[in-house]
């Protein structure tokens, strides 16, 4: 039987995954909140705003009708920005059946509640099985069948394996992982470090600086993750260091590009406008900063980026603050292995 998949969200990532699933022979419907945009895509078969270089398959449906997109589907892919998920779930909940698997592909932490996306979904859909798909995966490359590897994480092993099989292709390899907390936090927190990497580039600092930011950044990510119940090993994997590398080094990364503009002296709001799409790392910085205070842990890079974004701190002073912190032994930050059963 052909799998029937609804994709909630028509940004670059939702579009790329919709194309991938359609090309596998599945029945795919993608929902967009903007009716005019949906009509334009149906007419031109191109998502001009988010993925202009890729033509959508003729048999991939695009709609503005949320009920139609959800009805009679085996699984639903949540591909909306983090700050929009609660609104989408509010509208979608009346149509969603408990048997439908929820596959989240968004990366972020809700600013007001500090909840991860799985926790938000559980509020709305406590009976539905949840899977998060994450890893180093720019939509622009996935849509062109460039080799990519990601991870499918769920507390339900069979659901993780279902999503693994659903998305697996010769150019899109999927691993499984039981650590939902770690995979979600890795995907969200790396955007903060990517902002910092972009700021470093905007200041014309070199590879040494970026390497330091990335290496110490993964320590911060793991430190918070460990305190929140994640498996430390997850941060050494695709959704941790893998996603961090690609987001800090690629010009496909909206977070890195925004950071470059900020490093060059542009105001935060102006940088967001110039990027023209959601820059998740900006809101995630605030969430992570507040989580660090809640759990009483040190996240110096995150704290300095928060100061730049929300307190108007000078970026060069923030770099200096990081460099002249108290001397430390690097191994003080190594966190012991935490075992999980699955």
Secondary element (H or E) of residue 185 = helix 180-202
Question: Which of 120, 152, 178 is the C-terminal boundary of a domain?
Answer: 178
Q: Can you give the pLDDT at residue 216?
A: 94
Q: Can you give the pLDDT at residue 245?
A: 97
Q: Can you give the pLDDT at residue 325?
A: 84
User: Do 221 and 161 fall into the same domain?
Assistant: no
Secondary element (H or E) of residue 4 = strand 4-8
Handedness of CA 29, 31, 34, 37 (dihedral sign): negative
Query: Which residues of the chain register pLDDT less than 50?
Result: 337
CATH number at residue 326: 1.10.1040.10
Q: Can you give the pLDDT at residue 340?
A: 55
Secondary element (H or E) of residue 220 = helix 207-227
User: Do 157 and 204 fall into the same domain?
Assistant: no
Q: Can you give the pLDDT at residue 333?
A: 63
The DSSP secondary-structure symbol of 334 reads P
The residue segments making up the domain with residue 127 are 4-178
Instruction: Look at residue 239 and tell me if it is in a domain.
Output: yes
Q: What CA–CA distances, in Å, run from 269 to 134, 179, 282, 312, 315?
A: 27, 35, 10, 12, 16
Q: Is 190 a catalytic residue?
A: yes
Q: Are 22 and 60 in contact (CB under 8 A)?
A: yes
**Tally of domains in the chain:** 2
pTM of the model as a whole: 0.94
Q: Are 38 and 61 in contact (CB under 8 A)?
A: no
Instruction: Look at residue 340 and tell me if it is in a domain.
Output: no
Q: Can you give the pLDDT at residue 331?
A: 73
Which residue out of 73, 107, 190, 286 is catalytically annotated? 190
CA distance 164 to 175: 7
Tell me the per-residue pLDDT of 94-151, one tens digit each, with 9 for 90 and over.
999 999 999 999 999 999 999 999 999 999 999 999 999 999 999 999 999 999 999 9
Q: Can you give the pLDDT at residue 1?
A: 60
User: Do 197 and 230 fall into the same domain?
Assistant: yes
**Closest to 80 measured CA to CA, from 96, 91, 68, 95:** 91
């Amino acid at each position: 039987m052909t799998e029937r998949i609804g994709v909630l969200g028509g940004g670059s990532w939702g579009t790329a995954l919709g194309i991938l699933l359609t090309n596998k022979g599945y029945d795919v419907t993608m929902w967009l909140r903007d009716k005019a945009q949906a009509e334009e895509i149906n007419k031109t078969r191109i998502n001009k705003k988010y993925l202009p270089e890729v033509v959508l398959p003729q048999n991939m449906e695009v709609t503005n009708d949320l009920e139609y997109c959800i009805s009679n589907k085996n699984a639903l892919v949540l591909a909306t920005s983090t700050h929009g998920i609660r609104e989408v779930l509010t509208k979608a909940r009346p149509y969603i059946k408990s048997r439908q698997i929820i596959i989240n592909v968004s990366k972020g932490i809700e600013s007001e509640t500090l909840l991860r996306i799985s926790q938000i979904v559980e509020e709305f859909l406590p009976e539905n099985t949840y899977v998060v798909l994450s890893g180093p995966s720019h939509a622009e490359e996935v849509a062109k069948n460039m080799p990519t590897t990601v991870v499918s994480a769920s507390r339900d092993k069979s659901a993780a394996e279902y999503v693994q099989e659903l998305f697996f292709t010769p150019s899109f390899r999927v691993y499984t992982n039981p650590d939902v907390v770690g995979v979600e936090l890795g995907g969200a927190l790396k955007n903060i470090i990517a902002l910092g990497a972009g700021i470093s580039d905007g200041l014309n600092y070199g590879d040494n600086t970026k390497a330091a930011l990335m290496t110490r950044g993964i320590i911060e990510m793991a430190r918070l993750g460990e305190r929140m119940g994640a498996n430390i090993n997850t941060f050494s994997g695709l959704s941790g260091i893998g996603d961090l590398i690609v987001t800090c080094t690629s010009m496909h990364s909206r977070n890195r590009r925004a950071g470059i503009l900020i490093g060059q002296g542009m105001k935060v709001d102006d940088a967001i406008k110039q990027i023209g799409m959601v820059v998740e790392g900006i809101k995630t910085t605030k969430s992570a900063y507040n989580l660090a205070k809640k759990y009483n842990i040190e996240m110096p890079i995150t704290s300095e980026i928060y100061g730049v974004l929300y307190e108007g701190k000078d970026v060069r002073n923030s770099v200096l603050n990081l460099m002249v912190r108290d001397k430390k032994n690097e191994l003080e930050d190594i966190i012991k292995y935490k075992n999980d059963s699955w």
